[in-house]
Structure 1
């Protein structure tokens, strides 16, 4: 056996694969970049379909370029024709044509899809055009294994006021279930109080709650992207939804707690995706 043959003698095992379909954050804290970091941190191979390019840092989004729908379709076909994708996370889809392309590309997927309806950046900049909201509601919600809106996003999807208490959040979650999602995670980060409660809502089952203390830090850029991609990673590994949510919730809390160990930018900095690995 030659030296080259010896070097190539290693065991091969399948690795869970997640695909993220989302926009690019040039500052690296959210979007495609946060998703791929999360997948890697949790032991999942990440592939990507880029739907938009943003000029963005920790302070603001200064420009958005939507990728043409045919290029989005071509990326989906390239990834799914070759990689054995186990789960999909969907993030920023800013225009109706992109949403239609993604819905068509995933129509026959048949595996877990986590839909994070990204509408507004942490800086307050709007990322989803108003005319795209109805398209997302009608075309993608019925494909979602899990929908993960924060409270303002849920209100936007339902065209109603933002939930002011847990009872209203549960009712809005049930209303989103009625639009076609298999389950809804109502994220409580925008609620008031010293604790943050997330509510996982299934049809016909009591809400599954996870609560954590609210952490005093401004470095929370990409929390929604990170949570949804962490859940997708768990589903790709074969975890049940509540278990995937529980693992992802703990991972995100650790990433927020460790966020101030990083010094990135002068605005809303990112969470620490590799807090379990970096010394």
Structure 2
């Protein structure tokens, strides 16, 4: 039996288990990966919001990363909530020589609306986008990263192409925040301008806490399985959609997804 892909998640901890490191571990495990973690911040949060944040020392974050990479190694890395601009800078320097895929989810605001990155930290995202394989912003994050406010649907590709060209990175612009009540459309753009889109029906639910974390962790795991990018995106989206459908209904606000209720999606043979 082949060894599972080793996936390192660098992100914040969610005490309620719906997002961040906890969502990543569930996702990586369900998709047949071996999950490792480097925690950037500890949060006190639940479905109603974030009640407190304690950012970990950037050098300690790097120490966690080094502990994993120097011994176990990694086939893919997912980066989520960073906590500080210094953490972003140190990670960009440390991971510049990493040979495998890096998925960067530029977390700024929790599903509940709580701010998880200040302006200085967001400015530090640029260095990580320079070394990432793919960046997965939602529409508000894409607006913040490109300085474009109120992106209309027909301008999302244009904004994604701007970001991809600026940093030489693939950009998966997630459409969950768009106004279409019937479907969600995600768009992938390469630095060369190559375009593709993916769509699925929108689920009418308030239980969407951790969707971005889940999608990016799933994508990193599938890339660790050596799946082609577009195929990895399709499976990652299908897994996330199924996890939303199987949400257990916990919490009074934006509840967690049902990762463990999803039948494991096996990656197909590489083509």
- What TM-score comes out, normalization by structure 1 length? 0.91
Q: 2:74 aligns with which of 56, 71, 85?
A: 85
Q: Which residue of 2 aligns with 1:202?
A: 190
- CA-CA distance at 1:89 after TM superposition: 0.4
Q: Is the 8 A contact 1:196 1:213 kept in 2?
A: yes
- CA-CA distance at 1:163 after TM superposition: 1.4
Q: For structure 1, list consecutive stretches of 5 or more residues without a partner in the other structure.
A: 1-11
Length, aligned pairs only = 263
Q: Is the 8 A contact 1:147 1:181 kept in 2?
A: no
Q: Is the 8 A contact 2:13 2:41 kept in 1?
A: yes
Q: Which residue of 1 aligns with 2:170?
A: 183
Residue 190 of structure 1 aligns to a residue whose secondary structure is coil
- CA-CA distance at 1:84 after TM superposition: 2.5
Deviations 1:177-208 (A, max 9, x none): 12214200000000011111000111335421
- Alignment of 1:240 with 2:224, yes or no, is no
Q: Is the 8 A contact 1:117 1:153 kept in 2?
A: yes
- Written as runs of structure 1 = structure 2, the 5 A alignment for 1:1-279 is 13-137=2-126, 139-165=127-153, 167-193=154-180, 194-259=182-247, 262-277=248-263
Q: Which structure: larger Rg? A: 1
Q: Distance in 2 between matches of 1:223 and 1:146?
A: 17
Do the aligned partners of residues 27 and 181 (structure 1) sit closer, same or farther apart at CA in structure 2, a change above 3 Å counting? farther
Q: Is the 8 A contact 1:20 1:48 kept in 2?
A: yes
Q: Distance in 1 between matches of 2:22 and 2:217?
A: 11
Deviations 1:22-73 (A, max 9, x none): 0000010000000010000101000000000111111010111110011011
Instruction: Please identify runs of 4+ aligned residues in structure 1 that moved more than 4 A.
Output: none
Residue 274 of structure 1 aligns to a residue whose secondary structure is helix
Deviations 1:213-232 (A, max 9, x none): 11011000000000011000
Q: For structure 2, list consecutive stretches of 5 or more residues without a partner in the other structure.
A: 265-271
Q: Distance in 2 between matches of 1:253 and 1:99?
A: 30
Which piece of structure 1 moves more, 97-106 or 141-150? 97-106
Q: Distance in 2 between matches of 1:124 and 1:218?
A: 13
Residue 179 of structure 1 aligns to a residue whose secondary structure is helix
- What TM-score comes out, normalization by structure 2 length? 0.94
Residue 90 of structure 2 aligns to a residue whose secondary structure is helix
